[in-house]
Structure 1
Amino acid sequence: MQNLPQRDVRCGGRLSSFLMERRHMRVLGITLGAVLGVLAVGGAQADDDFEPEVLTVEESIEPGANLFLLDQSWQGASRLNVLAVEDLAHKGNLSMGLVAQMALSRDRKTAYTISAYAKRITYGPTEAVLQIFDVDTLTLKSEVIIPDKMSQVAPSNAVLQLSADDRYAFIQNATPATSVTIVDTKAGEVIAEVPTPGCFGIYPALDSQRFSTLCGDGTMAAYDFEADGEFSAPVRSKKLFDPDEDALFIMPERVGKDLVFPSFKGNLYRISDAGTPRLVDKFSLTEGIEGDWAPGGVDVMAYNASHDVMFVLMHPDAEEGSHKNGAEELWAVDMDAQEVLYRSAVGHLASIAVTPGEEPVLFGMSEESEVVRYEIAPEARFAAKPTATLEGAGDWTVYAIAGG
């Protein structure tokens, strides 16, 4: 019985604490009610002057020349960013699947992309799609399901190409056996898969239903095809280059009617793809120049036809395997005179693109997600001057197409 008062005290303490908490909650409730009441009155007054914002979508992107920048993703959705050539202002973007590639119609009004959609992300079936977008409105026009054999590689203009009239899309496959899928973009269907054993890269002909591909033995093979999907046996060239002594980058530039490929050792190979492919000419960029310079990067050349000038990314101290190194200089090359006109210092660029016309603008992309705009001065032997920079443009910003 002596312990009972102590228990009563403890019970009384708990009850007292509970009652005090209830009182504090009641006071807090009164205070909050007063504040909410004031806010309600203020809100009622503000409603008289409040004008809700109306969200709209522009019918088309801003006018002017565009830079098309591929942000390829291996982890999620890839993007095709559309920037202004004038100042790198962002105009809009298009979304597609994993490991996307891009190509543009001749008038730059239609964008073609291929990408993969992994239904279960880490395993299971994958759906590959060719998507066709209207550039001005950034809207999807159509899409075609393609074989999931499409080559999933770093951005490359040799993996997705269009015929000269934009009627057919060519898609590089690798399983690792190589072949080319041909899509009739007008009919919206796959019409053929052309086996191209030992060869990689797609180079459409200028004026016919034909494409060529570069082969690992130093030759080139050309294939003709019909609208119904029938295709010819390959037309094989003689050996055009030595893949062991002077391998070629697979991304050429079209110069006149010919294809020009840069080599790992700094030579330019000019190849005709009309009829049986053949070597037209070859010359060295680096002969007589000290420092062991060679091309380096991913998409290492860009050609301006108005001046017949090729821009090439170059790095010093070249050795086996350094062809992937970013550039330290941008060389402007007169293709007719086969002469280096100017060497501009640049910051570790991996790919370049240049606008057409008499006043070219060049864009350089780095693997550090930076895009640099350069004004080119024809009167100063095509020296390049940086005028704008865009950082954080994506994970794989190493391929772009500049145009109007």
Structure 2
Amino acid sequence: MKHRRLAAATGALFYGLLACQPHAGAAEKPEELTVAKVPPYNPHRVYVADVSFASMTDARVHVFDGDSKRFVGEIDGGFAPGFAISPDHKTSYVATTYFARGGHGARTDVVEIIDNTTLDVTGEIVIPAKHAQAVPTPYNTTLSDDGSRLFVSNITPSTSVTVIDTATKKVVGEIDTDGCVLAYPTGNDRFTALCESGKALTVKLDATGKEASRKLSEAFIDVEKDPAFVNAVRDANRYVFTTFNGRVRTADFSGDTPTFGTPWSLLSDQERKAGWRPGGLQQTAFHAAGHRLYVAMHKGVDGSHKEPGTEIWIYDTESKKRVARWELAKQKIDPLLAIQVSTDDKPLFYGLTPTSDLVVLDAATGKRQHVEKQLGSTSTLLLNP
């Protein structure tokens, strides 16, 4: 396992030994370098995708423990990786690209299989050289609910999804998604891609992972007047989409025909006039047991949807009412570009600042727990199994 901090420490030790050579005849016990084992899984472990735009071929995923407030290790990511974690938390999958000469040369796309107990690469699956090279999203590489199928989104610029059997570690097919992108899984036998028309294409698979049927929905997003962020959050079989102008709409793709919830607003008329709206690269997080939707909000205008949130607003998705509002500056916390929340009964809230500081808050109260300075160089996404 490559580990930049270990490499730096090894280099410092080497030069220190050169500068402090013992006198002739002195007995010195050789230094022994070891690699610490990854602590046992806990629900407060968070995975931070770090894609540096200064070095696109050298991405990584940082692993951080919210309980011990310590950096655990990192996973190499290659070029613009997709990342998914198995339902049992034991394995991670990195869909990525390598070039024979670093940034150029013969291209090889692979899915690397990571043992989460060691962060070692235990195998790889060569996939078609079409893997979508884009800003990370939770939905460019995803798993079926039982973990038996891995879906890797492709853009060449035509769009498709590579389907992988995780038991046999083989590609079982490639499905043309007809201009629609990403893969939102539902159950064990289907995924949905979003279309530029605001419609959704759901593909059902047979037992071998091949396409059995497909269904194109009606338009449920107004892409002209109020586009939606692609980084939806999941509530059982429903995906919760948030729009640029601060509206929420759910989509359930589990049946033969998709069903869509009635849209509702995050904002009062006064707040809308004041310019409040969602923003960031990963602007929402969801705690299913508590029915809590966390939204990074900022004051902006049309086109400011990538701006980080200066506040976190929390909603009860059953009553569709705001129940809390955290002003980050009051705790000397910079605006947040990406947010996530753990899934347990004592959840932690995580946020990433534009300078890659990882912020840890109590998800119930918003109280600051820890800030890990510059965890990476251009961290863009938070994942928590």
> Smaller-chain TM-score range?
0.7 to 0.9
Is 1:97 aligned to residue 82 of structure 2?
Answer: no
Residue type of the partner of 2:264?
F
Is 1:394 aligned to residue 376 of structure 2?
Answer: yes
Aligned to 1:159: 140
Residue type of the partner of 2:233?
E
2:344 pairs, out of 341, 357, 363, with 357
Aligned to 1:385: 367
Aligned to 1:69: 48
The DSSP-based 3-state class of the residue aligned with 2:24 is: helix
Residues 367 and 395 in structure 1, CA contact (< 8 A), matched pair in contact too: no
Kindly report structure 1 stretches of 4+ aligned residues shifted beyond 6 Å: none
CA distance in 2, matches of 1:41, 1:215: 68
The DSSP-based 3-state class of the residue aligned with 1:232 is: strand
CA distance in 1, matches of 2:134, 2:77: 15
Residues 85 and 402 in structure 1, CA contact (< 8 A), matched pair in contact too: no
CA distance in 2, matches of 1:166, 1:178: 23
2:155 pairs, out of 164, 174, 196, with 174
Aligned to 2:261: 280
Say what the alpha-carbon RMSD is for the aligned residues: 1.9
CA distance in 2, matches of 1:388, 1:40: 40
CA distance in 1, matches of 2:169, 2:22: 61
Shift of 1:128: 0.9
TM-score normalised to structure 1 length: 0.83
Residues 99 and 106 in structure 2, CA contact (< 8 A), matched pair in contact too: yes
Residues 73 and 100 in structure 1, CA contact (< 8 A), matched pair in contact too: no
Shift of 1:122: 4.0
Kindly, what percent of the aligned residue pairs are identical? 28
Aligned to 2:30: 52
Query: 1:262-285: CA deviations, max 9, x gaps?
Result: 111101111111221121221000
Aligned to 1:371: 358
More helix by share: 1
Aligned to 1:264: 244
CA distance in 2, matches of 1:42, 1:57: 30
The residue correspondences of 1:130-169 to structure 2 (distance < 5 A) are 130-169=111-150
Is 1:225 aligned to residue 209 of structure 2?
Answer: no
The DSSP-based 3-state class of the residue aligned with 2:310 is: strand
Is 1:338 aligned to residue 316 of structure 2?
Answer: no
Shift of 1:342: 1.2
Shift of 1:256: 3.0
Is 1:306 aligned to residue 289 of structure 2?
Answer: yes
CA distance in 2, matches of 1:160, 1:59: 27
Residues 138 and 383 in structure 2, CA contact (< 8 A), matched pair in contact too: no
Unaligned runs of 5+ residues in structure 2 are 1-19, 329-333
Residues 352 and 362 in structure 1, CA contact (< 8 A), matched pair in contact too: yes
Residue type of the partner of 1:298?
L
Unaligned runs of 5+ residues in structure 1 are 1-38, 378-382
CA distance in 1, matches of 2:21, 2:144: 66
Query: 1:306-350: CA deviations, max 9, x gaps?
Result: 211010111113x22111111111011100010011111232211
- Structure number with higher relative contact order (C-alpha < 8 Å, ≥ 6 residues apart): 2
The residue correspondences of 1:75-94 to structure 2 (distance < 5 A) are 75=55, 76-94=57-75
Closer/same/farther in 2, CA of residues 230 and 338 from structure 1, 3 Å limit: same
Residue type of the partner of 2:356?
S
The DSSP-based 3-state class of the residue aligned with 1:43 is: coil
CA distance in 1, matches of 2:209, 2:254: 21
Residue type of the partner of 1:100?
P
| Residue correspondences, number | 355
